[in-house]
Amino acid sequence: MRQLTAPQLSEWLADPARQKPVLLDVREPWEFDVCRIPAAKQMPMRSVPARYPELKRDDEIVIVCHHGARSYQVAMFLEHQGFTNVHNLYGGLAAWAQQVDPTMPTY
């Protein structure tokens, strides 16, 4: 699994020459309601074992949570299921709010 910093993800999303990743937000619904990266797909961590077949194995997937711990665990799970293009957002949305979008609400 690859670790991706918030600035690296921001550059990726802003690059028109690069295909956008699937942003998989594994936080709880109330957290998703507070803040999120636009275009993120919500799939709470507890639902991933049942819902991961919704994901395409060949897509680039960036997994997002609040601080990066839950997303790391989900990334490891997906790799064990045969996904090879999995990235963990290091520091999660807390890092995104600090380093990329200081206007993002935090909790």
Q: Which of 23, 35, 64, 65 is catalytic?
A: 65
The yes-or-no answer on residue 65 being catalytic is yes
Cβ contacts of residue 63 below 8 Å, gap of 6+?
24, 26, 71, 72, 74, 75, 78, 86, 87, 88, 89
Which residues are identified as catalytic? Answer: 65
